[in-house]
Structure 1
Amino acid sequence: MATWPKVLMGLRMAAALQGAMLEVARRSLSGSLAGRCLADLRLWDELHAQSRRGTDHTFDWFFGYDEVQGLLLPLLQKTPAAGPARVLDVGCGISGLCTGLYTKCPYPVDVLGVDFSPVAVAHMNSLLEGGTLCPGHPASRLHFVQADAQNLQPVATSSSFDLVLDKGTWDAVVRGGHPGAYRLLSECLRVLQPQGTLIQFSDEDPDVRIPGLEQGVPGRTVSVQELGPFRGISYFAYMVQGQLKD
């Protein structure tokens, strides 16, 4: 018999999928997500190629920067003033999270968005080259690079980011199996400063996500904050914060 946490997770995932499919229909995207593996690069190339034909420059499956700036700004404000806070968005897609940080954050940020889809990265770089994005702080920077979030060695050194963001990337990768999801988590923690913060944005129920996170992040603290509802769906920010001091 299924446990209630698993039932709730199934309901949330179904609601999220339905919401995503409604958005896809609204944007006149062809095809369906049903029966497709969300860890499949070909699926995301296809979806990103179709989404960017709309009138908006970016497309968010969950929500954008405006909905979570109240959570992010206090963390960025606390970053040591040695230089711009370094922020990594894994699986950035064509979301407005990176661009929102760059154009609206009043604090200096150096934002790197990585995605395994060349279609997504090319589109986001075209926005930068188009000169339509103006930094919210004169010292802020924004970059997009094609990379597999399960292996960030080519683009990111260890302990190099103050804040790592994962908006639905774990949710997609885990569809291909838990080993891939834990490789993603391991890489996020490797590139994170010892006292930095990893945030996973998801609709998955805390009773399911928190035990899995705690298993993969020994020596760090895990907390959760509810977000939304946005378009009728409640989300969660799972925060993994600094290594515990001796």
Structure 2
Amino acid sequence: MAALRRTLHVATLAAGARRALAGSLAGSCLADRRLWDKLHADARRGSVPTFDWFFGYEEAQGLLLPLLQEAGAACPPRVLDVGCGTSSLCTGLYTKCPHPVDVLGVDFSPVAVAHMKSLLEGGQGQTPLCPGHPASRLHFIKADAQNLEPVASSGSFQLVLDKGTWDAISRGGLPRAYQLLSECLRVLSPQGTLIQFSDEDPDVRLPCLEQGSPGWTVTVQELGPFGGITYFAYLVQGSH
């Protein structure tokens, strides 16, 4: 969470907007939905369609695309982005992945979900998003990542993405973060992969993931540096 408490490298926002959002986070509880409603509403007034903590799809695609190709048993493979916000992960997978993919973004902020639905459908005078493959699909649903029962059945996704969501929820206490992890693993295929993107040091994150993921393999890869900051991709995987 260190990078969330200082000005982050947010490639999709102008410098002035980045400073304003970083100021809004100071002393705030990042597990509070009202905070995210306000941040997403503020971001919608800008000139860019998406907002990314840490980094966006372009920086993550080198890791994501090979994993999707490995998930060839499911066609198209299903991807869940928990706490998607207005990130470019979902839209990037949908518009740029050359293989068919079925992407679902969930967030507890109705403001974020409404914005992403509008972006997908070409609202507010924008051009609708075009899939990178004719069979690809993209949906956004309002849901709490700590309780995915209403939107996702057990073992139904080959890839689950968490970019900063554990970081935010853990500010409200580790039990809530472990509930998020439990739900992510419940909806993940036994042969699938959960990826947590974070700037948190492996010495802190790995013991938490290993404790909360018995029977799963936990590894870490460095990403970046992006904007002078090194990030980590924590992979929780079943049998491959």
TM-score (norm 1): 0.90
Q: Does the alignment pair 1:207 with 2:203?
A: yes
- Aligned partners of 2:43, 2:96: CA distance in 1, in Å? 23
- Aligned partners of 1:181, 1:14: CA distance in 2, in Å? 17
Q: Give the % identical residues.
A: 75
Q: Does the alignment pair 1:87 with 2:79?
A: yes
Do the aligned residues in 2 keep the contact of 1:87 with 1:112 (CA within 8 Å)?
yes
Match of 2:174 in 1: 178
Do the aligned residues in 1 keep the contact of 2:113 with 2:141 (CA within 8 Å)?
yes
- Aligned partners of 1:151, 1:85: CA distance in 2, in Å? 22
- Aligned partners of 2:199, 2:9: CA distance in 1, in Å? 15
Q: Does the alignment pair 1:26 with 2:22?
A: no
- Aligned partners of 2:82, 2:237: CA distance in 1, in Å? 17
Amino acid paired to 2:191: Q
- Output the aligned Cα RMSD: 1.8
Match of 1:14 in 2: 2
- Aligned partners of 1:21, 1:102: CA distance in 2, in Å? 23
Number of equivalenced pairs: 232
Do the aligned residues in 2 keep the contact of 1:98 with 1:113 (CA within 8 Å)?
yes
1:129-148, aligned counterparts within 5 Å?
Answer: 129-130=121-122, 131-148=127-144
Q: Does the alignment pair 1:237 with 2:229?
A: no
Of stretches 190-199 and 123-132 in structure 1, the one that deviates more from structure 2 is 123-132
- Aligned partners of 1:81, 1:171: CA distance in 2, in Å? 32
1:1-246, aligned counterparts within 5 Å?
Answer: 13-20=1-8, 26-27=16-17, 29=20, 32-130=24-122, 131-243=127-239
- Aligned partners of 2:114, 2:42: CA distance in 1, in Å? 14
TM-score (norm 2): 0.92
The verdict on how the C-alpha distance between 1:204 and 1:84 changes in structure 2, with shifts beyond 3 A counting, is same
- Unaligned residue ranges in structure 2 (runs of 5+): none
